[in-house]
Amino acid sequence: MSLIERSFREKIILVGVTMPPATEEETEEHLDELALLVDTAGADVLARIHQRRDRPDPATFIGKGKVEELKELSLEVDSDTVVFDDDLSPAQQRNLEKLLGRTAISRTEVILDIFAQNARTPEGRAQVELAQLRHRLPRLRGRGVQLSRQAGTGGASGGAPMGSRGPGETQLEVDRRRLLRRMTHLEDQLKAVTATRRTQRKTRARAGNRTVSIVGYTNAGKSTLLNRLTDAGVLVEDRLFATLDPRVRRLDLAGGEAVLLSDTVGFVRKLPHQLVEAFRSTLEVVAESDLLVHVVDASALDPQAQIDAVRTVLEEIGAADVPELLVFNKIDVTTEGKRLVDAHPGSVAISAVTGEGVENLLLTVSDRLRAMETVVELLVPYDRGDVVAALHREGEVLVESHEEGATRLRARLDRTSVGKFAAFTVAS
Cα end-to-end span (Å), the chain: 66
Q: Read off the pLDDT of residues 181-195 as tens digits, 9 standing for 90 and up.
A: 999 999 999 888 878
Q: Read off the pLDDT of residues 170-227 as tens digits, 9 standing for 90 and up.
A: 788 888 999 999 999 999 998 888 788 777 767 666 556 788 999 999 889 998 999 8
For CATH 3.40.50.300, the residue range(s) in the chain are 208-370
Q: Read off the pLDDT of residues 409-426 as tens digits, 9 standing for 90 and up.
A: 999 887 778 888 999 999
Total count of residues recorded for the chain: 428
DSSP for 328-345, written as a single string: EE-TTS-S-HHHHHHHST
Q: What pTM was computed for the model? A: 0.77
pLDDT tier, 7 (very low <50, low <70, confident <90, very high otherwise): low
pLDDT at position 156 over 60? no
Q: Sign (positive/negative) of CA torsion 369, 349, 249, 212?
A: positive
| Among the four given CATH numbers 1.20.1440, 1.20.1260, 3.30.70, 1.25.40, the one describing domain 373-424 | 3.30.70
In this predicted structure, what is the pLDDT of residue 242? 58
Residue type, 167: P
Which residue, 376, 136, 369, 406, is CA-closest to 260?
A: 369
Residue 195, burial from CB neighbour count under 10 angstroms (0-12, 13-18, 19+): exposed
Check: CB of residue 291 under 8 Å from CB of residue 323.
yes
Instruction: Report the pLDDT averaged over residues 159-179.
Output: 66
In this predicted structure, what is the pLDDT of residue 207? 59
Distance CA 187, CA 16 (A): 34
CATH code: domain 208-370 is 3.40.50.300
For CATH 3.30.70, the residue range(s) in the chain are 373-424
Residue spans of beta strands (DSSP E) within 198-302: 210-216, 247-252, 258-263, 291-297
In this predicted structure, what is the pLDDT of residue 167? 54
- The tally of CA atoms less than 13 A away on the side-chain side of residue 356 is 12
Check: CB of residue 370 under 8 Å from CB of residue 335.
no
Q: Read off the pLDDT of residues 42-55 as tens digits, 9 standing for 90 and up.
A: 999 999 999 999 99
Which range is least confidently modeled, 196-200, 337-341, 395-399, 417-421?
A: 196-200
For CATH 3.40.50.11060, the residue range(s) in the chain are 11-115
CATH code: domain 11-115 is 3.40.50.11060
| H helix or E strand, kind and range, residue 390 | helix 385-394
The three-class DSSP label of residue 211 is: strand
Give CA 413 to chain center in angstroms. 31
The three-class DSSP label of residue 414 is: coil
